[in-house]
Amino acid sequence: MIWYPYQQMKTMKAPYHIINAEGVYLYTQEQKLIDSVSSWWSVIHGYKHPELNQAIQTQLEKFAHVMLGGLSHETAQKLSDKLQDWLPGDLDYCFFSDSGSVAVEVALKMALQYYMNRGENQRTMVLALEHAYHGDTFKTMEVGDDEDYHFVLHAYGASQNVVHIPTEIDALEKAFERYHSKLNCFLVEPLLQGAGGMRMYDVTFLKRARELCDQYGVLLIFDEVATGFGRTGNRFVADLVLPDILVLGKALTGGYIGHAVTVANHRVYEGFYDDNPAHALMHGPTFMGNALACSVALKSIELFETRDYMSKIKKIEQITRREMQGFCHPEVKEVRIMGACICVEVYEPDAIRGYQQFAYEHGVFSRPFLNYLYAMVPYVIEEKELVQVLQTMKDWFARK
Ligand SMILES: *Cc1c(COP(=O)(O)O)cnc(C)c1O
Protein backbone atom coordinates (compact mmCIF):
# COMPACT_ATOMS: atom_id res chain seq x y z
CA MET A 1 0.00 0.00 0.00
CA ILE A 2 1.02 3.62 -0.42
CA TRP A 3 2.64 5.36 2.56
CA TYR A 4 1.54 8.98 2.02
CA PRO A 5 3.71 12.07 2.69
CA TYR A 6 3.45 14.34 5.73
CA GLN A 7 0.52 12.37 7.14
CA GLN A 8 -0.31 10.36 10.20
CA MET A 9 -1.53 7.30 8.32
CA LYS A 10 -3.78 6.26 11.21
CA THR A 11 -5.91 9.42 11.11
CA MET A 12 -5.40 10.58 7.53
CA LYS A 13 -8.53 11.37 5.57
CA ALA A 14 -8.67 9.53 2.26
CA PRO A 15 -6.92 11.43 -0.55
CA TYR A 16 -8.96 12.49 -3.59
CA HIS A 17 -8.57 9.91 -6.31
CA ILE A 18 -7.60 11.56 -9.61
CA ILE A 19 -8.66 9.82 -12.80
CA ASN A 20 -7.77 12.52 -15.33
CA ALA A 21 -6.13 15.93 -15.50
CA GLU A 22 -6.14 18.59 -18.21
CA GLY A 23 -5.30 22.29 -18.23
CA VAL A 24 -5.79 23.68 -14.72
CA TYR A 25 -8.29 20.91 -13.87
CA LEU A 26 -8.02 17.71 -11.87
CA TYR A 27 -10.87 15.23 -12.28
CA THR A 28 -12.16 12.84 -9.65
CA GLN A 29 -14.99 10.41 -10.39
CA GLU A 30 -17.57 13.03 -9.41
CA GLN A 31 -15.86 16.41 -9.31
CA LYS A 32 -13.87 18.79 -11.51
CA LEU A 33 -11.30 20.77 -9.52
CA ILE A 34 -9.09 23.75 -10.29
CA ASP A 35 -5.66 22.79 -8.96
CA SER A 36 -4.72 25.85 -6.89
CA VAL A 37 -1.55 24.10 -5.71
CA SER A 38 -0.14 23.25 -9.18
CA SER A 39 0.94 19.86 -7.78
CA TRP A 40 3.36 21.33 -5.28
CA TRP A 41 3.93 24.48 -7.33
CA SER A 42 5.38 22.69 -10.35
CA VAL A 43 2.65 22.37 -13.02
CA ILE A 44 3.00 25.89 -14.42
CA HIS A 45 1.59 25.08 -17.89
CA GLY A 46 -1.28 22.96 -16.60
CA TYR A 47 -1.83 19.25 -17.17
CA LYS A 48 -1.72 17.26 -20.39
CA HIS A 49 -0.17 20.11 -22.34
CA PRO A 50 -0.07 18.97 -26.00
CA GLU A 51 3.39 20.43 -26.72
CA LEU A 52 4.95 19.09 -23.53
CA ASN A 53 3.42 15.68 -24.18
CA GLN A 54 4.80 15.76 -27.72
CA ALA A 55 8.30 16.70 -26.53
CA ILE A 56 8.39 13.61 -24.33
CA GLN A 57 7.01 11.38 -27.06
CA THR A 58 9.61 12.59 -29.56
CA GLN A 59 12.42 11.88 -27.11
CA LEU A 60 10.89 8.52 -26.21
CA GLU A 61 11.20 7.40 -29.85
CA LYS A 62 14.98 7.79 -29.46
CA PHE A 63 15.57 6.66 -25.87
CA ALA A 64 14.16 7.40 -22.40
CA HIS A 65 17.37 7.52 -20.45
CA VAL A 66 21.11 7.03 -20.55
CA MET A 67 23.40 7.77 -17.64
CA LEU A 68 25.79 10.72 -17.67
CA GLY A 69 28.68 8.63 -16.31
CA GLY A 70 30.88 8.18 -19.38
CA LEU A 71 27.94 8.97 -21.70
CA SER A 72 26.27 12.13 -22.89
CA HIS A 73 23.40 13.09 -25.18
CA GLU A 74 22.07 15.96 -27.20
CA THR A 75 18.98 16.70 -25.10
CA ALA A 76 20.92 17.21 -21.83
CA GLN A 77 23.50 19.20 -23.77
CA LYS A 78 20.82 21.43 -25.25
CA LEU A 79 19.24 22.01 -21.85
CA SER A 80 22.54 22.98 -20.24
CA ASP A 81 23.29 25.31 -23.19
CA LYS A 82 19.84 26.86 -22.87
CA LEU A 83 20.18 27.39 -19.11
CA GLN A 84 23.66 28.86 -19.60
CA ASP A 85 22.23 31.40 -22.07
CA TRP A 86 19.03 32.06 -20.21
CA LEU A 87 20.22 32.39 -16.63
CA PRO A 88 21.82 35.67 -15.54
CA GLY A 89 25.53 36.40 -15.15
CA ASP A 90 28.05 33.59 -15.33
CA LEU A 91 25.75 30.91 -13.90
CA ASP A 92 26.98 28.56 -16.60
CA TYR A 93 27.74 25.14 -15.13
CA CYS A 94 24.75 22.80 -14.79
CA PHE A 95 24.81 19.80 -12.47
CA PHE A 96 21.59 17.81 -12.95
CA SER A 97 19.85 15.68 -10.35
CA ASP A 98 16.49 14.08 -9.77
CA SER A 99 14.93 16.26 -7.07
CA GLY A 100 15.13 19.63 -5.38
CA SER A 101 16.41 18.18 -2.11
CA VAL A 102 19.28 16.45 -3.87
CA ALA A 103 20.08 19.57 -5.89
CA VAL A 104 20.34 21.56 -2.62
CA GLU A 105 22.59 18.81 -1.18
CA VAL A 106 24.79 19.19 -4.25
CA ALA A 107 24.95 22.97 -3.76
CA LEU A 108 25.96 22.52 -0.11
CA LYS A 109 28.56 19.93 -1.06
CA MET A 110 29.93 22.29 -3.73
CA ALA A 111 30.21 25.15 -1.23
CA LEU A 112 31.99 23.04 1.39
CA GLN A 113 34.35 21.38 -1.06
CA TYR A 114 35.10 24.65 -2.83
CA TYR A 115 36.86 25.79 0.34
CA MET A 116 38.33 22.37 1.21
CA ASN A 117 39.94 22.34 -2.25
CA ARG A 118 41.60 25.66 -1.34
CA GLY A 119 42.77 24.33 2.02
CA GLU A 120 40.31 26.48 3.97
CA ASN A 121 39.20 23.57 6.12
CA GLN A 122 37.75 25.73 8.87
CA ARG A 123 34.86 26.89 6.64
CA THR A 124 32.37 24.25 7.73
CA MET A 125 29.41 26.44 8.62
CA VAL A 126 26.25 27.32 6.68
CA LEU A 127 24.29 30.49 7.32
CA ALA A 128 20.55 30.01 6.69
CA LEU A 129 17.21 31.62 7.50
CA GLU A 130 14.74 30.99 10.28
CA HIS A 131 11.71 29.12 8.87
CA ALA A 132 13.86 27.93 5.96
CA TYR A 133 12.82 24.88 3.98
CA HIS A 134 15.32 23.27 1.63
CA GLY A 135 14.09 19.68 1.33
CA ASP A 136 13.57 16.49 3.31
CA THR A 137 16.96 14.78 3.12
CA PHE A 138 19.10 14.91 6.27
CA LYS A 139 21.47 17.75 5.40
CA THR A 140 18.66 19.84 3.95
CA MET A 141 16.67 19.26 7.15
CA GLU A 142 19.71 20.39 9.12
CA VAL A 143 20.01 23.67 7.21
CA GLY A 144 16.23 24.04 7.23
CA ASP A 145 14.21 25.32 10.16
CA ASP A 146 10.89 23.60 9.74
CA GLU A 147 9.04 22.73 12.94
CA ASP A 148 7.82 19.51 11.39
CA TYR A 149 11.38 18.25 11.30
CA HIS A 150 12.48 19.32 14.74
CA PHE A 151 12.47 15.68 15.82
CA VAL A 152 15.86 15.58 14.12
CA LEU A 153 17.02 18.40 16.41
CA HIS A 154 15.76 16.42 19.37
CA ALA A 155 17.63 13.35 18.21
CA TYR A 156 20.98 14.95 17.46
CA GLY A 157 20.90 18.31 19.26
CA ALA A 158 21.33 21.64 17.47
CA SER A 159 23.86 21.47 14.65
CA GLN A 160 27.22 23.13 15.25
CA ASN A 161 27.45 23.77 11.52
CA VAL A 162 24.35 25.84 10.87
CA VAL A 163 23.27 29.28 12.07
CA HIS A 164 19.72 30.52 11.45
CA ILE A 165 18.86 34.19 11.29
CA PRO A 166 15.64 36.16 10.65
CA THR A 167 15.32 38.16 7.41
CA GLU A 168 16.59 41.34 9.06
CA ILE A 169 19.64 43.24 7.91
CA ASP A 170 20.79 43.77 11.49
CA ALA A 171 20.86 40.04 12.19
CA LEU A 172 22.55 39.43 8.86
CA GLU A 173 25.37 41.86 9.59
CA LYS A 174 25.86 40.49 13.09
CA ALA A 175 26.04 36.90 11.81
CA PHE A 176 28.68 37.81 9.23
CA GLU A 177 30.68 39.74 11.81
CA ARG A 178 30.63 36.82 14.18
CA TYR A 179 30.97 33.78 11.90
CA HIS A 180 32.47 34.97 8.62
CA SER A 181 35.75 33.07 8.94
CA LYS A 182 33.85 29.78 9.44
CA LEU A 183 31.13 30.24 6.83
CA ASN A 184 31.30 28.54 3.43
CA CYS A 185 27.90 29.77 2.25
CA PHE A 186 24.74 31.70 2.91
CA LEU A 187 21.81 29.61 1.66
CA VAL A 188 18.41 31.26 1.13
CA GLU A 189 15.03 30.89 -0.50
CA PRO A 190 15.10 34.38 -2.03
CA LEU A 191 12.16 36.80 -1.46
CA LEU A 192 9.63 34.05 -0.75
CA GLN A 193 10.01 31.29 1.83
CA GLY A 194 7.54 28.63 0.71
CA ALA A 195 7.05 25.61 2.97
CA GLY A 196 8.10 27.71 6.00
CA GLY A 197 4.84 29.66 5.66
CA MET A 198 4.84 31.71 2.43
CA ARG A 199 6.90 34.40 4.16
CA MET A 200 7.83 37.33 1.95
CA TYR A 201 10.71 39.73 2.48
CA ASP A 202 12.47 42.58 0.79
CA VAL A 203 15.16 42.50 -1.88
CA THR A 204 17.31 44.95 0.12
CA PHE A 205 18.07 42.04 2.47
CA LEU A 206 19.45 40.02 -0.46
CA LYS A 207 21.42 42.98 -1.82
CA ARG A 208 23.07 43.44 1.57
CA ALA A 209 23.74 39.66 1.71
CA ARG A 210 25.49 39.86 -1.67
CA GLU A 211 27.73 42.69 -0.40
CA LEU A 212 28.63 40.82 2.78
CA CYS A 213 29.31 37.59 0.87
CA ASP A 214 31.68 39.53 -1.41
CA GLN A 215 33.33 41.29 1.50
CA TYR A 216 34.03 38.05 3.40
CA GLY A 217 34.45 35.64 0.47
CA VAL A 218 31.37 33.57 1.36
CA LEU A 219 29.36 31.84 -1.39
CA LEU A 220 25.76 32.95 -1.88
CA ILE A 221 23.34 30.15 -2.77
CA PHE A 222 19.78 30.78 -3.95
CA ASP A 223 17.40 27.87 -3.52
CA GLU A 224 14.93 28.83 -6.27
CA VAL A 225 13.33 25.38 -6.37
CA ALA A 226 10.03 27.10 -5.50
CA THR A 227 10.63 30.72 -6.56
CA GLY A 228 12.19 30.02 -9.96
CA PHE A 229 10.32 30.37 -13.26
CA GLY A 230 8.30 33.43 -12.37
CA ARG A 231 6.53 32.54 -9.12
CA THR A 232 7.59 35.76 -7.34
CA GLY A 233 6.78 37.97 -10.35
CA ASN A 234 10.46 37.91 -11.31
CA ARG A 235 11.66 35.37 -13.85
CA PHE A 236 14.24 34.34 -11.27
CA VAL A 237 15.12 36.30 -8.15
CA ALA A 238 18.67 35.72 -9.41
CA ASP A 239 17.82 38.36 -12.06
CA LEU A 240 17.77 40.94 -9.24
CA VAL A 241 20.68 39.73 -7.13
CA LEU A 242 23.20 37.33 -8.59
CA PRO A 243 24.08 34.27 -6.48
CA ASP A 244 27.19 32.08 -6.90
CA ILE A 245 25.09 28.93 -7.01
CA LEU A 246 21.45 28.67 -8.14
CA VAL A 247 19.21 25.67 -7.47
CA LEU A 248 16.17 24.99 -9.68
CA GLY A 249 13.59 22.21 -9.46
CA LYS A 250 9.80 21.88 -9.27
CA ALA A 251 8.72 23.92 -12.36
CA LEU A 252 11.91 23.03 -14.27
CA THR A 253 10.08 20.26 -16.14
CA GLY A 254 6.68 21.97 -16.02
CA GLY A 255 5.81 19.45 -13.31
CA TYR A 256 6.06 16.46 -15.64
CA ILE A 257 9.04 14.51 -14.29
CA GLY A 258 11.14 14.97 -11.17
CA HIS A 259 14.28 16.80 -12.12
CA ALA A 260 16.47 19.56 -10.74
CA VAL A 261 19.67 21.41 -11.48
CA THR A 262 22.41 23.05 -9.43
CA VAL A 263 23.97 25.82 -11.50
CA ALA A 264 27.40 27.12 -10.48
CA ASN A 265 29.13 30.28 -11.60
CA HIS A 266 32.63 30.48 -13.05
CA ARG A 267 34.33 31.07 -9.71
CA VAL A 268 32.81 27.94 -8.13
CA TYR A 269 33.56 25.80 -11.19
CA GLU A 270 37.17 27.01 -11.21
CA GLY A 271 37.49 25.90 -7.59
CA PHE A 272 37.17 22.29 -8.75
CA TYR A 273 38.94 22.53 -12.12
CA ASP A 274 42.57 21.40 -11.79
CA ASP A 275 44.84 18.36 -12.14
CA ASN A 276 44.05 16.91 -8.74
CA PRO A 277 41.46 14.08 -8.99
CA ALA A 278 40.60 14.60 -5.32
CA HIS A 279 39.29 18.05 -6.25
CA ALA A 280 36.51 16.61 -8.42
CA LEU A 281 32.86 16.88 -7.39
CA MET A 282 32.03 13.38 -6.20
CA HIS A 283 28.34 13.19 -6.88
CA GLY A 284 26.24 11.45 -9.54
CA PRO A 285 22.54 10.66 -9.18
CA THR A 286 21.56 7.66 -11.30
CA PHE A 287 18.92 9.61 -13.21
CA MET A 288 20.75 12.92 -13.63
CA GLY A 289 20.19 14.40 -17.07
CA ASN A 290 17.34 11.97 -17.79
CA ALA A 291 16.45 12.46 -21.45
CA LEU A 292 12.67 12.61 -20.99
CA ALA A 293 13.05 15.16 -18.18
CA CYS A 294 15.48 17.28 -20.22
CA SER A 295 13.27 17.19 -23.31
CA VAL A 296 10.21 18.38 -21.40
CA ALA A 297 12.28 21.02 -19.52
CA LEU A 298 13.49 22.44 -22.85
CA LYS A 299 9.95 22.67 -24.17
CA SER A 300 8.72 24.15 -20.89
CA ILE A 301 11.32 26.94 -21.09
CA GLU A 302 10.42 27.55 -24.73
CA LEU A 303 6.74 27.99 -23.82
CA PHE A 304 7.69 30.23 -20.90
CA GLU A 305 9.67 32.51 -23.22
CA THR A 306 7.61 32.51 -26.41
CA ARG A 307 4.15 32.75 -24.80
CA ASP A 308 5.17 35.69 -22.61
CA TYR A 309 4.58 33.98 -19.28
CA MET A 310 5.93 36.97 -17.35
CA SER A 311 2.91 39.01 -18.42
CA LYS A 312 0.57 36.12 -17.49
CA ILE A 313 2.13 36.19 -14.02
CA LYS A 314 1.76 39.99 -13.76
CA LYS A 315 -1.91 39.59 -14.64
CA ILE A 316 -2.39 36.87 -12.00
CA GLU A 317 -0.87 39.23 -9.43
CA GLN A 318 -3.11 42.13 -10.53
CA ILE A 319 -6.28 40.07 -10.39
CA THR A 320 -5.28 38.64 -7.02
CA ARG A 321 -4.68 42.12 -5.55
CA ARG A 322 -7.96 43.39 -7.01
CA GLU A 323 -10.00 40.47 -5.66
CA MET A 324 -8.41 40.50 -2.20
CA GLN A 325 -8.56 44.25 -1.75
CA GLY A 326 -10.32 45.14 1.48
CA PHE A 327 -10.61 41.51 2.55
CA CYS A 328 -10.29 41.08 6.28
CA HIS A 329 -11.70 38.85 8.98
CA PRO A 330 -11.09 38.59 12.74
CA GLU A 331 -9.46 35.18 12.25
CA VAL A 332 -7.09 36.45 9.55
CA LYS A 333 -3.70 37.75 10.62
CA GLU A 334 -2.38 38.81 7.23
CA VAL A 335 -2.89 38.45 3.49
CA ARG A 336 0.37 38.27 1.54
CA ILE A 337 0.63 38.47 -2.24
CA MET A 338 3.74 38.22 -4.40
CA GLY A 339 3.64 37.38 -8.10
CA ALA A 340 1.58 34.22 -8.55
CA CYS A 341 1.51 33.38 -4.85
CA ILE A 342 -1.12 34.36 -2.31
CA CYS A 343 -1.17 33.38 1.34
CA VAL A 344 -3.88 34.04 3.90
CA GLU A 345 -2.34 33.55 7.33
CA VAL A 346 -4.77 32.90 10.19
CA TYR A 347 -4.13 33.25 13.91
CA GLU A 348 -5.19 29.68 14.72
CA PRO A 349 -4.93 26.54 12.55
CA ASP A 350 -8.50 25.74 13.62
CA ALA A 351 -9.72 28.65 11.49
CA ILE A 352 -8.92 26.73 8.29
CA ARG A 353 -9.70 23.20 9.47
CA GLY A 354 -12.19 21.73 7.01
CA TYR A 355 -11.23 24.17 4.26
CA GLN A 356 -9.97 21.47 1.92
CA GLN A 357 -13.36 19.74 1.81
CA PHE A 358 -15.17 23.09 1.51
CA ALA A 359 -12.94 23.99 -1.45
CA TYR A 360 -13.54 20.57 -3.00
CA GLU A 361 -17.26 21.18 -2.92
CA HIS A 362 -16.64 24.54 -4.60
CA GLY A 363 -14.57 23.00 -7.39
CA VAL A 364 -11.12 23.89 -6.09
CA PHE A 365 -8.30 21.70 -4.90
CA SER A 366 -6.41 23.31 -2.03
CA ARG A 367 -3.98 22.02 0.56
CA PRO A 368 -3.63 24.43 3.47
CA PHE A 369 -1.02 23.68 6.12
CA LEU A 370 -0.60 24.92 9.71
CA ASN A 371 -1.82 28.56 9.71
CA TYR A 372 -1.53 29.04 5.98
CA LEU A 373 -4.21 29.02 3.34
CA TYR A 374 -2.52 29.67 0.02
CA ALA A 375 -2.74 29.39 -3.74
CA MET A 376 0.03 28.95 -6.28
CA VAL A 377 -1.96 28.48 -9.46
CA PRO A 378 -0.78 27.26 -12.87
CA TYR A 379 0.15 30.30 -14.98
CA VAL A 380 -2.30 29.30 -17.73
CA ILE A 381 -5.28 29.90 -15.46
CA GLU A 382 -8.12 32.03 -16.90
CA GLU A 383 -9.37 35.09 -15.06
CA LYS A 384 -12.71 33.54 -14.08
CA GLU A 385 -10.98 30.42 -12.76
CA LEU A 386 -8.61 32.50 -10.65
CA VAL A 387 -11.53 34.54 -9.33
CA GLN A 388 -13.23 31.25 -8.37
CA VAL A 389 -10.14 30.17 -6.41
CA LEU A 390 -9.99 33.49 -4.53
CA GLN A 391 -13.76 33.73 -4.04
CA THR A 392 -13.74 30.27 -2.47
CA MET A 393 -11.18 31.51 0.06
CA LYS A 394 -13.29 34.57 0.87
CA ASP A 395 -16.51 32.53 1.04
CA TRP A 396 -14.95 30.23 3.62
CA PHE A 397 -14.47 33.12 6.02
CA ALA A 398 -17.82 34.73 5.11
CA ARG A 399 -19.80 31.55 5.85
CA LYS A 400 -19.54 31.83 9.66
C1 LIG B 1 10.18 21.68 -2.69
C2 LIG B 1 11.43 22.35 -2.28
C3 LIG B 1 12.64 21.64 -2.14
C4 LIG B 1 12.72 20.15 -2.28
O5 LIG B 1 12.43 19.68 -3.56
P6 LIG B 1 12.03 18.13 -3.78
O7 LIG B 1 11.96 18.00 -5.27
O8 LIG B 1 10.72 17.94 -3.09
O9 LIG B 1 13.12 17.32 -3.16
C10 LIG B 1 13.77 22.36 -1.84
N11 LIG B 1 13.75 23.69 -1.66
C12 LIG B 1 12.60 24.40 -1.77
C13 LIG B 1 12.64 25.88 -1.60
C14 LIG B 1 11.41 23.76 -2.08
O15 LIG B 1 10.27 24.46 -2.16
pLDDT of residue 332: 98
194 lines ligand 1 (CB under 6 A): yes
Nearest to 313 by CA among 361, 369, 376: 376
Whose Cα sits closest to atom 8 in ligand 1? Answer: 100
359 contacts 365 by C-beta, under 8 angstroms: yes
Catalytic residues: 6, 133, 223, 250
Q: How many whole angstroms from 277 Cα to the centroid of ligand 1?
A: 31
pLDDT of residue 392: 98
Q: How many whole angstroms from 399 Cα to the centroid of ligand 1?
A: 35
Residue range 27-56, pLDDT digits in tens: 999 999 999 999 999 999 999 999 999 999
240 contacts 206 by C-beta, under 8 angstroms: yes
Three-state DSSP class for 265?
strand
pLDDT of residue 74: 98
Please identify, by atom number, the ligand 1 atom nearest to the C-alpha of residue 258: 7
Q: How many whole angstroms from 62 Cα to the centroid of ligand 1?
A: 30
pLDDT of residue 123: 98
96 lines ligand 1 (CB under 6 A): no
99 lines ligand 1 (CB under 6 A): yes
pLDDT of residue 146: 80
pLDDT of residue 21: 98
pLDDT of residue 151: 83
Please identify, by atom number, the ligand 1 atom nearest to the C-alpha of residue 102: 9
238 contacts 223 by C-beta, under 8 angstroms: no
Nearest to 113 by CA among 286, 245, 289: 245
What are the residues whose beta carbons fall under 8 Å from the beta carbon of 141, sequence distance 6 or more?
135, 149, 152
pLDDT of residue 148: 74
pLDDT of residue 113: 98
Q: How many whole angstroms from 361 Cα to the centroid of ligand 1?
A: 29
135 lines ligand 1 (CB under 6 A): yes
Whose Cα sits closest to atom 15 in ligand 1? Answer: 226
What is the reported pTM?
0.98
Q: ∠ at Cα 113 (122, 289), nearest 5°?
A: 160
Which of the listed residues 41, 42, 102, 104 should we mutate to test ligand 1's pocket, taking the one with most ligand atoms within 8 A of CB? 104
Which of the listed residues 101, 262, 287, 341 should we mutate to test ligand 1's pocket, taking the one with most ligand atoms within 8 A of CB? 101
226 lines ligand 1 (CB under 6 A): yes
In the sheet that 332-338 helps form, which strands lie side by side, from edge to edge?
332-338, 341-346, 372-375
| pLDDT average per 10 residues of sequence, the chain (400 residues) | 95 96 98 98 98 98 98 98 98 98 98 98 98 95 85 86 97 98 98 97 98 98 98 98 98 98 98 97 97 98 98 98 97 98 98 98 98 98 98 94
Q: How many whole angstroms from 99 Cα to the centroid of ligand 1?
A: 7
225 lines ligand 1 (CB under 6 A): yes
104 lines ligand 1 (CB under 6 A): yes
Q: How many whole angstroms from 225 Cα to the centroid of ligand 1?
A: 6
pLDDT of residue 367: 98
- Counted residue by residue, the chain has a size of 400
